[in-house]
Structure 1
Amino acid sequence: MAAANRLACYSDPADHYSHRVRLALAEKGVAVEVIDVQAGQCPARLAELNPYAGVPTLVDRDLVLYEPGVILEYLEERYPHPPLLPVYPVARAHTRLLVHRIQRDWCSLVDRILDRRTREEARTQARKELRESLSGVSPVFAEKPYFMSDEMSVVDCCLLPILWRLPVLGVELPRASRPLLGYMERNFAREAFQASVSSIERTMR
């Protein structure tokens, strides 16, 4: 039961927003009870905790958080080591802006592809845009081990779950995207990332 542990996370094992939270928890080595909630389902306890009955939802004793960005900010403040945000305000602002751009530029396309209500021609266009956009930014990944950073950050926690899903999204990166492919290979092999992957997500590649 969620109440048995101090920290619990209601998570859709196939959802990239839930995955980013699980990845942040794994990176910080936080002991948490992950409660799988399949899409379309809503346990009674989750409905009591979250007025939107959605995931991810984090429960820390009497505190309930239910928006991915808010959850990631809380985890950074509650468990500051290892940090997923830079120390200095300007660098922090830049990191937050990158997260915003990932949400606007890439997550929106991913969500369009995965939405069953999306018409096939719109889905095909979204795949094309996502492939071209990721390919275009690939050279950036040759400069640093993480996305525009020497250290793992919240930006990577948002990006890696998307990249993990490229096969099920129907997006194949060209060979010219070698820096990005290398970034993916290195980070998918990391212990924390592997710990964050659900059994359903393991079938995606």
Structure 2
Amino acid sequence: MAIITNKRSVMTLYSGAVDILSHRVRIVLAEKGVSYEVVNIDSRGKPEDLLELNPYGSVPTLVDRELALYEPNIIAEYLDERFPHPPLMPVYPVARAKARLIIYRFDREWGPIIRKLESGKTNDLRAASKELSGYITQLIPIFNASPYFMGDEFTLVDCCIAPVLWRLPAWGITFSPAEAKVINKYAERVFQRDSFQASLTESEQELRKLAKAESA
């Protein structure tokens, strides 16, 4: 966390155009209907003001007046508490704890695999694709049980999963017809939300279009 001396009237999000964690935060901001400015960060160079706000120079970084936050789950929960409607976490403590644990497991188990896939290193891609597809197929009973991951309501858990599912074609990950039917039904339900569409950058839209065109 960083304390900022100059006040800003509008939130500012330092975001990567195809960064999966930035995408997660953009979905939350769109769900909340929050007005914000975007500073697009190129991975090849980081502006000095970002390094002043965030000692790691990482994205996403959210600036809200005197406050700078730079861990996606902290940002997401901050936004959920600062803008309570619509709520994106369960009301009851046990359910909230379960949601946090699910997100933690996604980040811990899926995160290293996703970093390999995004690196594009040939040696890692096949094994990483197989490992991630295995994790996703384990979720099929949950995808099949209710509209969203935690039940009938869209939550921060869905905000974590959706950017991953959006990128699957770009990573060349496919499933059997039966598996794909369930996964795609859940994915399309999330993708059709206004908030998800609003969260997409042009680069993310092109990423999926290009991947689908190449696989056709």
TM-score category by the smaller chain? Answer: over 0.9
Aligned residue in 1 for 2:170: 168
Q: Does 1:90 align with 2:94?
A: yes
Distance 1:203 1:184 in 2: 18
Q: Give, in angstroms, the shift of residue 19 of structure 1.
A: 0.3
Q: Give, in angstroms, the shift of residue 5 of structure 1.
A: 4.1
Higher mean C-alpha displacement, 137-146 vs 2-11: 2-11
Aligned residue in 1 for 2:214: none
Aligned residue in 2 for 1:181: 184
**Partner-residue secondary structure (3-state), 1:35:** strand
Higher mean C-alpha displacement, 33-42 vs 185-194: 33-42
Higher mean C-alpha displacement, 89-98 vs 167-176: 167-176
Letter of the structure 2 residue corresponding to residue 141 of structure 1: F
Distance 1:5 1:33 in 2: 10
Deviations 1:35-77 (Å, cap 9, x if unpaired)?
1112222122212211111110000011001111111121111
Distance 1:66 1:16 in 2: 14
Letter of the structure 2 residue corresponding to residue 192 of structure 1: S
Higher mean C-alpha displacement, 44-53 vs 18-27: 44-53
Aligned residue in 2 for 1:108: 112
Task: Name the Cα RMSD after superposition.
Answer: 1.6
User: Among residues 63, 74, 83, which one is paired with 1:59 in the alignment?
Assistant: 63
Q: Does 1:193 align with 2:212?
A: no
Higher mean C-alpha displacement, 51-60 vs 132-141: 132-141
On the 8 A contact 2:61/2:71 being kept in 1, the answer is: yes
Aligned residue in 2 for 1:147: 149
- Calculate the TM-score normalised by the size of structure 2: 0.88
Instruction: Return structure 1 stretches of 4+ with deviation > 3 angstroms.
Output: 2-5
Q: 5+ residue gaps in structure 1? A: none
Distance 2:90 2:138 in 1: 26
Q: Give, in angstroms, the shift of residue 155 of structure 1.
A: 0.3
Q: Give, in angstroms, the shift of residue 78 of structure 1.
A: 0.8
**Partner-residue secondary structure (3-state), 1:51:** coil
Distance 1:191 1:68 in 2: 21
**Partner-residue secondary structure (3-state), 2:39:** strand
On the 8 A contact 1:5/1:32 being kept in 2, the answer is: no
Aligned residue in 1 for 2:23: 19
On the 8 A contact 1:8/1:60 being kept in 2, the answer is: yes
Distance 2:139 2:206 in 1: 27
**Partner-residue secondary structure (3-state), 1:41:** coil
Q: Give, in angstroms, the shift of residue 189 of structure 1.
A: 1.3
Q: Does 1:156 align with 2:166?
A: no
Deviations 1:124-178 (Å, cap 9, x if unpaired)?
1010111122123212211110113210100011110011011111212321122
Q: 5+ residue gaps in structure 2? A: 1-5, 209-216
